[in-house]
Amino acid sequence: MSMINYASREINCKLVYYGTGLGGKTTNLEYIYSRVKPDTKGKMISLATETERTLFFDFLPIDLGEVRGFKTRFHLYTVPGQVYYNASRRLILKGVDGLIFVADSQVTRAEANIEAMHNLYENLETYGYDLQTIPFAIQYNKRDMPNTMAVEELRAQINPMGVPDFEAVAIEGSGVFETLQTVSKLVVQNLN
């Protein structure tokens, strides 16, 4: 889980954006990266092969304060969207401190959302992680698209635990920071 760097007096926490292919995970990270102050963030790194891409960057939020005299640095990751990259998805989950599931709100993506959520549960289980104890939120992205499912229907399909959830239009930034702040605060609470 979180790593402590005594030299820099930082606690490093890993947040992972999980979900369907083309659901908005990368768009979330790109939006966040474009809005975080340059002196508080690292470089955006893209680990790309011919067929998959994983993004990563870290930042030091100012508004979350310190934990026992340590600053909290968040490392944000996306997983490859397609379930057939399961080995990469599982590896990225190792040591996770908080999760954001990005669901595609379009009716045509309902099955993909359910499949990705089941895949998340399976991959967490391989490490013995329990989603009920990991800070977790769901983002219903692409709310601006035609033919979107009602939020109540999305909740019934992929949020039976009733975790915090948010409507979003990641490309415009709507709901992006609200989702991130909620999970970040939950992670910091777990550290105390």
Residues of the domain holding 116? 3-191
Q: How many domains does the chain have?
A: 1
The CATH number linked to 125 is 3.40.50.300
Q: What is the pLDDT of residue 153?
A: 97
pLDDT at 5: 82
Mean pLDDT across 167-187:
97
Burial class (CB in 10 A: 0-12, 13-18, 19+), 130: exposed
| pLDDT-wise least confident of 65-74, 101-110, 116-125 | 65-74
Residue 1 has pLDDT above 80, yes or no: no
Long-range CB contact pairs, 171-179, < 8 A, 24+: 171/24, 171/27, 171/31, 172/144, 173/31, 173/35, 174/143, 175/139, 175/141, 175/143, 176/28, 176/31, 176/32, 176/139, 177/32, 177/35, 179/28, 179/100, 179/137, 179/139
> Which range scores top for mean pLDDT: 8-12, 74-78, 149-153?
149-153
**pLDDT by residue (tens digit) across 116-161?**
999 999 999 999 999 999 999 999 999 999 999 999 999 999 999 9
**What pTM was computed for the model?**
0.92
* Averaged pLDDT score across all residues of the chain: 89
